[in-house]
């Protein structure tokens, strides 16, 4: 089951954590398990660890689990970032943003000396875009014009709605909208990321290219560790 895989991945990633570190914590179901496990470890070991959250959701969860928070203003270089992913390819390129926190996640993850991904086995793909659309954060003014330009790049853009709990579009923690763009499997993630971020009004794209150092991929039987190939 995917839930067991998430638990196994989160447990394995705890080996990356050391006393005294400043850690970026991502957003999503697997990272939520990591935060809970980290809170228990810090309490049991009496460790002094600070966390930089990527969303209000992860901030509240960290506080609930007894973890102390800090900011990038106070610690612009992090020791470690632990985050999830919607898709992971063999080169550890990622699609992220299912939780609508992609901009803050990319800022925090890129600020870490070491960025570790935790995910269950269903997130492994041969090429990005096989299962998930690419989330793209846009300012509200640009929702139509950005969608047109995304379509010109070959994407099928859909404005993400707020779901059952909110009428209208989903609004990010930054006050922006999310466009989910389905592309055919992405042959060149770096090139597509570059083109998407050139579109006026696009704040960030949910392609994380050559940022992750290691991924812990869990399933019912245990964990597979994947390290990024040397460039």
Residue 123 labelled as part of a binding site = yes
Distance (Å, whole) CA 216 – CA 102:
20
64: annotated active-site residue:
no
Strands across the sheet containing 207-208? 87-88, 94-95, 207-208
Residue 29 labelled as part of a binding site = yes
Residue 98 labelled as part of a binding site = yes
Residue 11 labelled as part of a binding site = no
Three-state secondary structure call for residue 47: coil
- Pick from 68, 59, 66: which is nearest to 108 by CA? 59
- Pick from 119, 124, 115: which is nearest to 33 by CA? 119
Q: Which pair of tokens denotes residue 57?
A: 């959701």
Residue 110 labelled as part of a binding site = no
Look up residue 169 and give its DSSP letter: B
Three-state secondary structure call for residue 6: helix
CA dihedral 52, 58, 64, 68 (to 10 degrees): 0
Q: Are 63 and 36 in contact (CB under 8 A)?
A: no
- The residue from 16, 105, 137, 204 that is catalytic is 105
Residue 6 labelled as part of a binding site = no
Residue 58 labelled as part of a binding site = no
- Pick from 187, 186, 189: which is nearest to 211 by CA? 189
Residues annotated in the binding site for substrate, as ranges?
Answer: 27-30, 83-86, 96-99, 123
**Binding-site annotation, residues:** 27-30, 83-86, 96-99, 123
Residues marked as catalytic: 105
């Amino acid at each position: 089951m995917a839930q067991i895989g998430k638990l196994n991945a989160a447990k394995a990633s705890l080996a990356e954590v050391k006393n005294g570190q400043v850690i970026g914590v991502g957003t999503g179901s697997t990272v939520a398990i990591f935060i809970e496990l980290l809170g228990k470890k810090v309490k049991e070991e009496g460790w002094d660890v600070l966390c930089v959250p990527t969303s209000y959701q992860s901030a509240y969860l960290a506080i609930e689990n007894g973890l102390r928070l800090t900011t990038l203003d106070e610690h612009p270089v992090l020791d470690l970032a632990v985050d999830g992913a919607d898709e992971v390819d063999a080169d550890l390129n990622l699609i992220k943003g299912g939780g609508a926190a992609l901009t803050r996640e990319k800022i925090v993850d890129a600020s870490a000396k070491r960025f570790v991904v935790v995910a269950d086995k269903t997130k492994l793909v041969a090429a990005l875009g096989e299962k998930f659309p690419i989330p793209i954060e846009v300012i509200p003014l640009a929702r139509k014009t950005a969608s047109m330009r995304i379509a010109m790049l070959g994407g099928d853009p859909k404005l993400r709605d707020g779901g059952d709990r909110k009428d209208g579009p989903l609004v990010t923690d930054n006050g922006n909208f999310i466009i989910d763009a389905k592309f055919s499997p992405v042959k060149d993630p770096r090139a597509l990321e570059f083109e998407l971020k050139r579109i006026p009004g696009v704040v960030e794209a949910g392609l994380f290219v050559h940022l992750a150092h290691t991924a812990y991929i869990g399933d019912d039987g245990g964990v597979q560790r994947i390290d990024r190939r040397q460039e």
